[in-house]
Amino acid sequence: MNLKKTFQVLGLPAVLGACADGSIRPPICTLDAPAQWYGFPPALIPLWSDGSRPTYIGYWKHWFVDREPCFVKMYVASEHMTIEIARTPAQLMGVMAMMSISVEDGATPKLEQFAQAVGLDCLEALEAQSLNTGDDPQGFANVELFSKQTPLESIAEGSGPYSGDFPNPSDLGPWWESSCSFEIIDRDVPAPKGSQLPAWFDPDREKKPLFESFLQAGRLDHAWLTLNSTGWSITDARQALVALQTRSNDRGFDAVVEYWLSVADVCAGGY
């Protein structure tokens, strides 16, 4: 399944598919679209990849779990650490614009073409903010585009509550029940007092038998979170994803499975 169709089936704006398949060129020369395969879990549908580190920027969705999808940056070389950078498609385009303004020291004709193609209408405000805080995500919240539904990376300490679903250091609720290991790597997210994190957070725990036990128990949510935590070979992950699909009846999930299987080259080893 092509990327445009995948985003369409997920009910997302067509502009995301156009960015992901390269029909709309990214405003930053180091980014590739379609994204290259460096290995990533099926919760991610990348729009762009950067091979120099490597990193991904893309759509992040947990299935069988009650969580708001978002847009993330994944650092493959840092154990696939994943950070929420935007909560709406428009914010994602704003992040791209700020990255470009920082790299090019201002808005270029290439960025202006990108902004027009994706419907981003606040370049002047973004450029003005960049003069004050550069590409520091915590400065983005001063721009109207990011002032509501502010993504976690743009929440400054003491600046107000975070209303999203990404695991959050200040969240006192049971975040670990709906999160995966990539979301807390190198982040100061406190473990639950008086209890242990679920087994899928343990990097030394064998994930395939753990996944199978959750699947057998009908815990598709825990099986999914296990599949999207560290410790998988691509071969085993492909088999596990298909097994999960047989228990699901969701056209959107079918589209994600078809896409991920089409790119998940076993030669990449694992994640």
pLDDT tens profile 158-179:
667 899 999 986 776 788 999 9
Helices (H) and strands (E) in the chain, counts: 11, 5
Confidence class for position 192, pLDDT limits 50, 70, 90? low
- pLDDT tens digits, one per residue of 247-260: 999 999 999 999 99
Helix (H, G, I), strand (E, B) or coil at 56: strand
Q: Which of 113, 111, 138, 114 is nearest to 127 (CA)?
A: 111
182, burial (CB in 10 Å: exposed 0-12, middle 13-18, buried 19+)? buried
Amino acid at 36: Q
Domain boundaries, given as residue ranges, for the chain: 3-154, 192-268
pLDDT of residue 189: 72
pLDDT of residue 136: 94
For the chain, give the mean pLDDT.
93
Instruction: Express as a percent the part of the chain with pLDDT over 70.
Output: 97
